[in-house]
Amino acid sequence: MGGHAVTDFSRREFLTIPAAAGLAGSAFATQGDVGWQRRIRRVGQLNMTEHDPVEMDVEAWADYWASLKVDAVLVSVTGILAFYQTKVPFHRKGKYLGTKDFFGECCAAAKKRGLHVVGRTSPDLNWEDAVQAHPEWFQRNAEGQPVAHTEDPRLFRTCMFSTYMTDYLPAIMREVNSLYDVDALFTNAWPPLGRLPDCHCGVCVHLPGPGTIEYWDRFNERTIYLWKLYDAIAKEKRQANFYFANLGGGIHSSANLVALGELCEWFQCDNQGRGGDNTPIWACASQGRVCRAVQNGKMATNVTGAWSTGPVRWRYVAKSEPEQRMWFNETVASGMVPYHHIIGAEKGLGEDRRVLGPARDFFRWTSQHDPHFRNKASVAEIGVVMGQRTNLFYQASPGMSVGDSINGLYSALLEGRFLFDFVHEEKLSRDELRKYKALILPNVALLSDRQCQQIADFVDGGGSLLATFETSMYDERNRKRSDFGLAEVFGIRRSGAIIGTNGNAYCARIEQRHELLQGFEDTDWIAGAQYRAPIASVQAPVLTVVPGSVAYPPELSYPNPSNTNEPAMVVRQKGRSRLIFVPGDVDGTLWRSGHGDLSLLLGNCVKWISGNDQPVMIDGPGLIETFAWETEPGFALHVLNYTNPAAHKGWIRDFHAIGPETIRFRVPNQRRVIRGELLRSETVLPLKIDGSTVAFTIPQVADYEVAALYCA
């Protein structure tokens, strides 16, 4: 390896060579097709392995992607292993590369077929020789040792605060710009998605402690600085070029999504399939909601791994076809662009040909109906506030995970068949909330004074609210308040520390019959929650706390006393606003327990705060998720069928059809619907049009159906 010998390469030389390449690029910089990425409908990636330069059939590869009608392919440049004849020091060439220009061949084959090419780099890892020559590039553990990769200890983790990111990676990007006709540059594995780095290198020891909000501020500053740097480098090639990175990870994303959402031209979600043991099937659709919340409708892709994602992984064996298909369904239903991802190309295009088929069928189908997947606006009138700071910094009680609240609420919203959007906590201005009738705050514990004021203004303007547990108990710096930030809005007052469960959880006593308690006619007690943030008594409560006790022995398992005046729910009406505060973590407890009382109560609450009036009502059997969009031709209602034994665990093996589903669609914006079509079954959809309401029936949904409504 030529690169290994170069250990005396000075920083000056490092910077000058690639910069010259960059200049040469910019001298010929043309405008190009500015904004092409906003029109992307499909994307493909065969993620190249070190072995692929001698295995992959480049022409077959390019033919495959062209047959899928993709607009762009990602091709590996990398940074861990070079796929071209690089001159950048420490950019080690793969051992099967030989004298080949593998990247160049792939790039040319894609371009010949009219596909855009994104150069994929990976700045997260490098080899021991780089550690020797540039110890400052690498993360250090608390003992000062370089941090080896957990799977392949020959590789070491680079530090995002080091010059690796400002010298080494730009050198590669500029070299690629100078050699190839790329349209965009991409970094894999940076910014980090799941958790914030914990590095003790020479730079990081001077940063605020890992895991603190102060650290997060610096992390976001650095991320935005590097993002802008890489974007400027991409544009040295052509004005239309740009840089982007993986930002998926749902609401748990570590970087500030609103700041990056504004910067980024392509919101890439590395959300390839169900990961852990208990990932629900809707984890892809919920990612689409996150994108919509932070991106103002700009293009977002969801990377679907055709390989076997999950707690046990098989990188080069396909996951089940129905599971792949459902992930694609959710991608487009939630407004994202499908992205097909395969790893490795042994024997031409891989030994397991099952990775090829599902995407081919799905992509061809979407290509026949593209206008219906170009969304202008969501029809939902309910906004669910996603607390990104809460997700990163809130200290959950024992046995509770911070994501439980939004997961539990999400499941209740699906059971109740509600249309909803996610709303990011930093997007609560009057303008941004104008379209919503009601907001839901599922234990959004961290809210600034300003955000609390924005929510109060929303209520003053007639908006309704449902909030749970410790919502607004902390400010944006995670400092605990003496009382809820929204105390006045809800008319509540904190009365003590969180109360948990010792064996037997508390119940809620029905104090008065109320439409919120429909379905609970045959009981006076219903399930409470595992935890509650107790509040002071109020006038005429609807539900009060029946305290918990031990669960064993049964002799002692009774509430004592069984009557209290501690509210288990506070209900208020202020003008048009309907306000509900539930001091229990009912949403999180629903997620952990699955108790039907909690989903029924939450569903009733959501119905009530939205004035018992949904823009789309869907009656019929099954567990479904729905999206309704205003589209180019008119409107589209997407129905995803999750009625499946694998809805909460494992993979879908087969679909279980549901139907008929009868639908009443209230057409917004005085638009006039003239005809309908079912896109999946490719049949005419008979409509009953009555003023601004359209009624129709979807006879059957196997996995997914789209009712397309055309407007005059």
Q: Is 147 in the site for Zn ion (CB under 5 A)?
A: no
Q: Is 507 in the site for Zn ion (CB under 5 A)?
A: no
Half-sphere exposure of 217 (CA within 13 A, CB side): 8
Closest approach, Cβ 161 to Zn ion, in A, equals 5
How distant is the alpha carbon of residue 469 from its chain centre? 24
Nearer to Zn ion, 4 or 218 (CB): 218
Vertex 121 angle, CA 338 and 264, to 5°: 55
How distant is the alpha carbon of residue 485 from its chain centre? 28
Q: Is 226 in the site for Zn ion (CB under 5 A)?
A: no
Distance separating alpha carbons of residues 522 and 318, to the nearest angstrom: 49
Choices 95-103, 125-133, 202-210, 220-228; region in contact with Zn ion by CB under 5 A:
202-210
Choices 43-51, 56-64, 199-207, 609-617; region in contact with Zn ion by CB under 5 A:
199-207
Nearer to Zn ion, 199 or 529 (CB): 199
Closest approach, Cβ 90 to Zn ion, in A, equals 18
What phi-psi label fits residue 462: left (phi over 0), alpha (psi between -120 and 50 degrees) or beta?
left
Q: Is 465 in the site for Zn ion (CB under 5 A)?
A: no
Identify how many contiguous H helices and E strands the chain contains and give both numbers.
19, 31
Distance separating alpha carbons of residues 282 and 270, to the nearest angstrom: 15
Closest approach, Cβ 145 to Zn ion, in A, equals 13
Binding test (CB under 5 A) with Zn ion, winner from 130, 172, 199, 579: 199
Judged by CB under 5 A, the number of residues near Zn ion is 5
Show the binding pattern over residues 152-181: x = contacts Zn ion (CB under 5 A), - = does not: -------x-x--------------------
Closest approach, Cβ 608 to Zn ion, in A, equals 51
Distance separating alpha carbons of residues 137 and 150, to the nearest angstrom: 18
Q: Is 616 in the site for Zn ion (CB under 5 A)?
A: no
Choices 68-76, 191-199, 398-406, 427-435; region in contact with Zn ion by CB under 5 A:
191-199
Residue 355, SS3 per DSSP: helix
Closest approach, Cβ 204 to Zn ion, in A, equals 3
Binding test (CB under 5 A) with Zn ion, winner from 189, 204, 535, 571: 204
Q: Is 201 in the site for Zn ion (CB under 5 A)?
A: yes
Closest approach, Cβ 225 to Zn ion, in A, equals 15
Q: Is 652 in the site for Zn ion (CB under 5 A)?
A: no
Q: Is the bond leading into 699 cis (omega within 30 degrees of zero)?
A: no
Closest approach, Cβ 243 to Zn ion, in A, equals 22
Question: What would the two tokens of residue 254 be?
Answer: 């570590």
Distance separating alpha carbons of residues 376 and 374, to the nearest angstrom: 7
Distance separating alpha carbons of residues 364 and 518, to the nearest angstrom: 46
Nearer to Zn ion, 161 or 243 (CB): 161
User: Scanning residues 239 to 258, which ones bind Zn ion (CB under 5 A)?
Assistant: none
Choices 20-28, 193-201, 364-372, 528-536; region in contact with Zn ion by CB under 5 A:
193-201
Nearer to Zn ion, 198 or 265 (CB): 198
Nearer to Zn ion, 161 or 363 (CB): 161
Write a three-state SS string for 615-643. CEEEECCCCEEEEEEEECCEEEEEEEECC
Q: Are 37 and 242 in contact (CB under 8 A)?
A: yes
Nearer to Zn ion, 158 or 530 (CB): 158
Closest approach, Cβ 201 to Zn ion, in A, equals 3
Closest approach, Cβ 135 to Zn ion, in A, equals 11
Closest approach, Cβ 132 to Zn ion, in A, equals 18
Closest approach, Cβ 177 to Zn ion, in A, equals 27
DSSP assignment of 193-255: -SS-----STTGGGSPPTTSHHHHHHHHHHHHHHHHHHHHHHHHHBTT-EEEEB--SGGG-SS
β-pairing verdict for 337-343 and 382-386: unpaired
Distance separating alpha carbons of residues 102 and 76, to the nearest angstrom: 9
| Residues at the site binding Zn ion, with contacts judged by CB under 5 A | 159, 161, 199, 201, 204
